[in-house]
Amino acid sequence: MAELVSLREAVAELVRDGDVVALEGFTHLIPYAAGHEIVRQHRRDLTLVRMTPDVLYDQMIGAGTARRLVFSWGGNPGVGSLHRFRDAVEHGWPGPLELEEHSHAGMATRYVAAASGLPFGVLRGYAGTDLSAHTANVAPVRCPFTGEQLTAVAALRLDVAVVHAQQVDRAGNVGLWGISGVQKEAVLAARSSIVTVEERVDALDPRCRVVLPSWVVSAVAVEPGGAHPSYAHGYSSRDNAFYTAWDTISRDRTSFSGWLRRHVLDTGGFAEHLRLLAEETHRAGAA
Amino acid sequence: MAELVSLREAVAELVRDGDVVALEGFTHLIPYAAGHEIVRQHRRDLTLVRMTPDVLYDQMIGAGTARRLVFSWGGNPGVGSLHRFRDAVEHGWPGPLELEEHSHAGMATRYVAAASGLPFGVLRGYAGTDLSAHTANVAPVRCPFTGEQLTAVAALRLDVAVVHAQQVDRAGNVGLWGISGVQKEAVLAARSSIVTVEERVDALDPRCRVVLPSWVVSAVAVEPGGAHPSYAHGYSSRDNAFYTAWDTISRDRTSFSGWLRRHVLDTGGFAEHLRLLAEETHRAGAA
Amino acid sequence: MTATAPAGVPGSIVDPALPVPTADEVMTVAAARELRDGAVCFVGIGLPSLAANLARRTHAPRLVLIYESGTIGAKPDRPPLSIGDGELAETADAVVSVPEIFAYWLQAGRIDVGFLSAAQIDRFGNINTTVIGDYGTPRVRLPGAGGAPEIASSAGEVVVVLRQTRRAFVDRLDFVTSVGHLRGQGSRAALGLTGRGPTVVITDLGVLRPDPDSQELVLCAVHPGVDPAEAVARTGWPLAVAPRLGVTSPPAVAELAVLRALSTRGAAA
Amino acid sequence: MTATAPAGVPGSIVDPALPVPTADEVMTVAAARELRDGAVCFVGIGLPSLAANLARRTHAPRLVLIYESGTIGAKPDRPPLSIGDGELAETADAVVSVPEIFAYWLQAGRIDVGFLSAAQIDRFGNINTTVIGDYGTPRVRLPGAGGAPEIASSAGEVVVVLRQTRRAFVDRLDFVTSVGHLRGQGSRAALGLTGRGPTVVITDLGVLRPDPDSQELVLCAVHPGVDPAEAVARTGWPLAVAPRLGVTSPPAVAELAVLRALSTRGAAA
């Protein structure tokens, strides 16, 4: 049963050093507030999982939370490289980062298998590529009816899934709409789950395409704007300017470290970070 | 691209004798109008596919359209047996009916595999039951990662899928909401598809949980009430009294044949059948 | 645990204004009592649905009802005639596709209790809902498997509800549609099924539970006024009777009143 | 078929009010022309998205755009910065989950054209978007596979768009992320992939297509004013040049006007 708690309590209770954790979101609804809280609480040695690690994972990797990354596409969409991710992989800063990488279709199939309680899933994929040479979680499988060879991928089970959604109702049911990614599968693939939401409502908006019943969610925290610079359909727009600005902030270790201290480590919570950002934008506009 | 045609044209053009045809619907949105049209056009030797063959398939089996039935549960929900189905299986009337039966989970997995372009799907199922002894479409498969034995089921590909939905928009996109069953999977598992809808609208209702883009549907026919005695959420309620009355109508070959002639074979279309039904109900009420 | 009136329900005093409970009512009430509050219950139509809705309106208000039509957390005002009635979708917390309900919810082990009925049951709680007689030339063609095989294999535990007769409680099933404890002696576990299988069979005569070692069903309790000899006589195998046979608490006034209100609403639908 | 201006677009006369097209613009226009009206197109972000949206606003108004975020039939007013911009969901005919877009739509063979870019490409149209250098100790870590491997294997055909340089057009990929024609000579077909693979590679210099027998890429056309020797020089293998080398039609006024309007709107986002 979903407990309504502060994000600080949720992370303190549910995320442990060394856990396999996915903060999912496909451009939309990326749980930035929760990711910052994990950094603020100095979690270490996490295996971070996500189809599309973007700026949030760049921040978390740069902050040293991750020992390992399981993913399919790591970049700053429409902007370019993730500099902290590259620095970790290419130069081991702030520490080495093990990689396990797949295709999007492979990752999606792995989440679906885990959400379905199966040890593996089947797809047409990987054949002829170098991807399968670097992971033990891809193997051939033969169709018992046609003899055709297909590809099996191992179920991707998580310790903790973290997602952001638009709403939670009084009974603790979580609802989201717009681009829904693999959030449902991630939550159902995890032993426990944390959901941040824009707001608490009496009844979920009828547009909700995905509803997570209260009893499959471990903790819900209300964090308005908790997906910034990603967005929550119906509540906010993607802050494309921040994604572009990140390219400069993150290019250099010193500049990144300063930003991380100011915006994450030295803040009391995500709301303070959002206030700081607004002030900086205002100052930049005035300058 | 979905063509807007009459149901008569759609069936005449797309359903051939001997085809593998699914008229899907899970209590909700059962395409009765289309099923009656198939009977009216005297299609023969069909392999009828459906998870929950109910009164519509009882009518089609009694009318002699089917050579074979692939299914997982055949009954009159909440009422009892399907007498025409039983008569065909137990006594070969009006002709023998081959059966291939599965569990619901097996059928759903078979549809999903076909919709996904895979030759098979995997589930935890069938183990220890007598079901797999009677079909070639169930086989063991081993997880290449854990060694665990699971069950493979063959993809369920269709020649034609027939479903009923609430709406089609001006561009030919089909939308439905409420209990959505396996209708999407059936349409995506088929070479061609016929959709009947309650009405044509300028823009689909935002409640639509399933949208079939125009280009995956072969033909759309507007048939208001075309799911009766099943229902269309937001348009009609389930006619439970008809389901109960069917038990009497169908119990006896003569009574059934009279009903079929009066309500299907001698009518020009489903609207006429609905008018007849309303008259009969009115007379019964007056008597 | 035998089926007793849950704490807080006022005893066994039947309201004189209510008629004496029928055997079916006693069975339904006993089945409802098996459902603990907050449990997630996968419900078939008919008696299971009636019992689950009774539980939700008495001792288990937070019971989560899941129907195979994809409705999660349905709160019907009256027991639905079919598993896909509109009211289930309207009152549900979530409505998902049929493939999803079986894969993400049942198969993944998210169901605490599966509620099944049967045409035939054997001493190990295996179930037949397919045919009476030979498969190729059946005397009676039954509806078939539906969701039962995977409910039986994947639900945390299974509650079976059916009337006790020699035609239903048979020495040998004509067809194994859904697996209970297979051939007993741990053979179910060896099959790799994820759920624990039938933990109780509720009939109109009493309550049967599998023996912990052999997994053979044992008559553990009879309903008030039932002679255990009748249960033995209505069973197609030599039914084991627990040395300390219990008696179930009769339906409480509140239980019976709710059940009858539900039945009336269902019949009026 | 070489890339020529579609019928109905008024010739190659460049409007003097518009600046001369850049090499990237010529490339984007040539890529857009590869998309026939009504085709179902799986679009990556960046140049592919820009070209697909250009096609939809010129000769292919009924082009169906699918983004891997699950938006089917998106009709963005401006090219999205990311594949998950809100406008894609708002203007789409349907929004589905990410597992569904890959299983039911791409893998099932419902995509006519997949549109890809690359960091490295070899003579058989195989693609690297993973690393430059050794996998374990890369010189440059690239974003990785994303949706590309299955777009490359399952789309009916694949259009690749990238600038032609010796760093990109390499003799040997550092990593095979997505399969084109593998080692040529029918080796792709032997792998059992359902799509036909890359049918064209559009660069800022010209148009390459696989030889029907060997599947090695052949320079079939150059853009106006491009010396084929430059294309050869900017290719890391001995590039075959078609005996009857074509010249693409320069961007038409209408094409260029629409492209620039799109680019401006995209940049302003």
d(CA A78, CA A135): 28
Nearest to C144 among B101, B105, B126 (CB): B101
More confident residue, A249 or C90: A249
Quick one: pLDDT at residue C19? 74
* Mean predicted lDDT score pLDDT of chain C: 91
Quick one: pLDDT at residue D3? 42
CB-based contact C94 A118, cutoff 8 Å: no
Looking at the complex, report in whole angstroms how far the Cα of residue B66 sits from the nearest Cα belonging to chain A.
25
d(CA D221, CA D228): 8
Pairing of strands B138-142, B149-154: antiparallel
Question: H or E segment at A47?
Answer: strand A46-50
* Mean predicted lDDT score pLDDT of chain A: 96
CB-based contact A173 C154, cutoff 8 Å: no
Quick one: pLDDT at residue C267? 53
Q: Answer yes or no: is pLDDT of D113 > 90.
A: yes
- Chains in touch with D (3+ beta-carbon pairs under 8 Å) read A, B
For chain D, say whether B212 makes contact (Cβ under 8 Å): yes
Quick one: pLDDT at residue A2? 76
Quick one: pLDDT at residue A1? 67
CB-based contact B215 D64, cutoff 8 Å: yes
Which range is least confidently modeled, C76-85, C137-146, D96-105, D185-194? C76-85
Nearest to A117 among C64, C94, C109 (CB): C109
Tell me the average pLDDT across C199-218. 98
> D110 contacts in B (CB within 8 Å)?
188, 216
Tell me the average pLDDT across A223-252. 96
Q: Answer yes or no: is pLDDT of C269 > 60.
A: no
- Interface pTM (ipTM) of the complex? 0.95
For chain B, say whether A205 makes contact (Cβ under 8 Å): no
Selected residue of B30, B83, B124, B142 to mutate for chain C interface (largest C Cβ count, 10 A) = B124
Which range is least confidently modeled, A20-29, A70-79, A254-263, D39-48? D39-48
Quick one: pLDDT at residue C57? 95
For chain B, say whether A99 makes contact (Cβ under 8 Å): no
Nearest to B117 among D40, D72, D108 (CB): D108
| B182: exposed, middle or buried (Cβ count in 10 Å: 0-12, 13-18, 19+) | buried
Q: Residue by residue, what is the 3-state secondary structure of chain B?
A: CCEECCHHHHHHHHCCCCCEEEECCECECCCHHHHHHHHHCCCCCEEEEECCCCHHHHHHHHCCCEEEEEECCCCECCCECCHHHHHHHHHCCCCCCEEEECCHHHHHHHHHHHHCCCCEEEECCCCCCCHHHHCCCEEEEECCCCCCEEEEEECCCEEEEEEEEEEEECCCCEEECCCCCCHHHHHHCEEEEEEEEEEEECCCCCCCCEEECHHHCCEEEECCCCCCCCECCCCCCCCHHHHHHHHHHHHCHHHHHHHHHHHHHCCCCHHHHHHHHHHHHHHHHHC
Q: Answer yes or no: is pLDDT of C5 > 90.
A: no
For chain C, say whether A188 makes contact (Cβ under 8 Å): yes
For chain B, say whether A6 makes contact (Cβ under 8 Å): no
Q: Answer yes or no: is pLDDT of A183 > 80.
A: yes
* Residue C68 annotated as catalytic: yes
CB-based contact B77 C84, cutoff 8 Å: yes
For chain D, say whether A184 makes contact (Cβ under 8 Å): yes
- Chains in touch with A (3+ beta-carbon pairs under 8 Å) read B, C, D
Quick one: pLDDT at residue D6? 42
Terminal-to-terminal C-alpha distance of chain C = 36
Nearest to B216 among D110, D154, D194 (CB): D110
CB-based contact D182 A128, cutoff 8 Å: yes
- Residue C6 pLDDT class (50, 70, 90 cuts): very low
CB-based contact D64 B115, cutoff 8 Å: no
d(CA D149, CA D178): 4
d(CA A226, CA A197): 7
Quick one: pLDDT at residue B284? 80
For chain B, say whether C86 makes contact (Cβ under 8 Å): yes
CB-based contact B143 A152, cutoff 8 Å: yes
Looking at the complex, report in whole angstroms how far the Cα of residue A42 sits from the nearest Cα belonging to chain D.
26
Using alpha carbons only, give the angle B47, B50, B54 rounded to the nearest 5 degrees: 110
- Residue A67 pLDDT class (50, 70, 90 cuts): very high
CB-based contact B173 D38, cutoff 8 Å: no
Quick one: pLDDT at residue D263? 84
Which tens digits make up the pLDDT trace of D182-217? 999 999 999 999 999 999 999 999 999 999 999 999
Examine chains D and C and say if they touch (3+ CB pairs below 8 A).
no
CB-based contact C108 A188, cutoff 8 Å: yes
CB-based contact B117 D93, cutoff 8 Å: no
Quick one: pLDDT at residue A283? 85
Examine chains D and A and say if they touch (3+ CB pairs below 8 A).
yes
> A123 contacts in D (CB within 8 Å)?
102-103, 107, 150
For chain B, say whether C120 makes contact (Cβ under 8 Å): no
Which tens digits make up the pLDDT trace of D46-56? 788 899 999 99
Using alpha carbons only, give the angle D263, D265, D269 rounded to the nearest 5 degrees: 115
Stretches where chain B sits below pLDDT 70 are 1, 286-287
- Residue D18 pLDDT class (50, 70, 90 cuts): low
How many beta-carbon pairs under 8 angstroms link A with C?
38
- Chains in touch with C (3+ beta-carbon pairs under 8 Å) read A, B
- Residue C42 pLDDT class (50, 70, 90 cuts): very high
On whether the CB atoms of residues A61 and A96 are closer than 8 A, the answer is no
Work out the number of other CB atoms within 10 angstroms of the CB of residue A98.
12
Looking at the complex, report in whole angstroms how far the Cα of residue B211 sits from the nearest Cα belonging to chain A.
12
Tell me the average pLDDT across C167-171. 98
d(CA D191, CA B175): 38
Beta-bridge partner residues of B28: B26, B231
| Catalytic site residue from C25, C34, C68, C150 | C68
Quick one: pLDDT at residue D5? 42
> B123 contacts in A (CB within 8 Å)?
118
Tell me the average pLDDT across C45-73. 93
